Amino acid sequence: MRAYRMPAEWEPHLATYLVWPHNRDTWPGKFELIPPIFARMVAAIAQFDPVRILVNGESEIGSVREMIAAHAQPTDQIEILAIPTNDSWIRDHGPIFVNRLETGARGGPIQIALDWKFNSWGEKYGSFELDDVVPRRLAERYSFEVVEPAPTMVLEGGSIEPNGAGSLLTTESCLLNPNRNPDLSRAQIEDYLKTYLGVSNVLWLGDGIAGDDTDGHVDDLARFVARDTIVTVVEDDPADANYTALSDNLERLRAMRDQDARPFRIETLPMPRAVYCEGTRLPASYANFYIANGGVVMPAFDCDADSIAAATLARLFPGRRVVPIPSSDLVWGLGAIHCLTQQHPLAK
């Protein structure tokens, strides 16, 4: 497997996968607001990438296509397919693709989809059996090869962030949590990441943001925007619940070195004004953006920091158009744009 590597998200995509929202328990009391927001998100991504949307049954395809058509014209970039799921967070239960290195073993497949074990973020929520088999159901549809890391390891896509050149960001609070892989040591988890994702340099952040039910996914904290550049969220208010964790993570990032022992360039994004629903602090973060072929789709939270985040991302991604999606209701489901998407990189 060391002959393969996980491409960075900004590398060219064959398609983007999403799961149409259907689990009302994910957005209690707000579910009716979510499909129209989702349709706007699909339309934004479809400007840049072919989009493949999973729905629970053939009978839903027509109504979903009609709702998307109100926001996206034409819709020839959008395919809707019936594959049942438990929930919409395909970043965490979808396939993670790795491409063969040019210097790797000849004769093997050019691209492999990794099917890691999914256990609903430490078995926090009900059934997850349908989500856990999504990589294989997609492979049956699109004829790509699937490999299940052995022995089995629980890993969610939102918990890892590669630069495509040998370095990978993750968090101690998630990957070392005993609700994922209690029998694996830190060294063993690093070995899995190095073996299957083609990295040599695993970089550990600490805790996640307040309200994050994933135990601290890195895609709410810090993201590679280039092989040598990381953008991270910061909190300036010492009284805010995120101040200590984000300050610690910023200090760690500034001390990190890349796969060639060089320091990273560290850029910052503000945190949005705290978002609450029914007294619950929600994991709102501008780091939860998605990089498409020609654009960056970012969550927006109806506050002054939206424009600062958009301008920062536009500067960091020259040549890509930044598209904000209103996400204050979306994040009531405890995730946003990046959590709801999964890229299928070109096989090269």
What contacts 25, CB < 8 A, 6 or more positions away? 125, 126
Give the 3-state secondary structure of residue 232: strand
Is 339 in the active site?
yes
Kind of pairing, strands 96-100 and 342-345?
unpaired
Q: For 4-345, which CATH class?
A: alpha beta
Tokens of 228: 């040598």
Give the long-range contacts of residues 176-179, CB within 8 A, separation 24 or more.
177/122, 177/215, 179/119, 179/121, 179/122, 179/123, 179/124, 179/215
Task: Give the domain ranges of the chain.
Answer: 4-345
- pTM of the predicted model over 0.85: yes
Helices (H) and strands (E) counted in the chain, each on its own, are: 10, 19
- The tens place of each residue's pLDDT in the chain, 348 residues long, gives 678 999 999 999 999 999 999 999 999 999 999 999 999 999 999 999 999 999 999 999 999 999 999 998 888 899 999 999 999 999 999 999 999 987 655 667 899 999 999 999 999 999 999 999 999 999 999 999 999 998 899 999 999 999 999 999 999 999 999 999 999 999 999 999 999 999 999 999 999 999 999 999 999 999 999 999 999 999 999 999 999 999 999 999 999 999 999 999 999 999 999 999 999 999 999 999 999 999 999 999 999 999 999 999 999 999 999 999 999 999 999 999 999 999 999 998
Could you write out the DSSP letters of every residue in 127-147? --HHHHTHHHHHHHHHT--EE
Q: Which of 174, 277, 303, 339 is an active site residue?
A: 339
User: Which residue in the block uniquely carries the two structure tokens 């790509």?
Assistant: 144
What angle (nearest 5°) sits at the alpha carbon of residue 64, between those of residues 58 and 70?
155
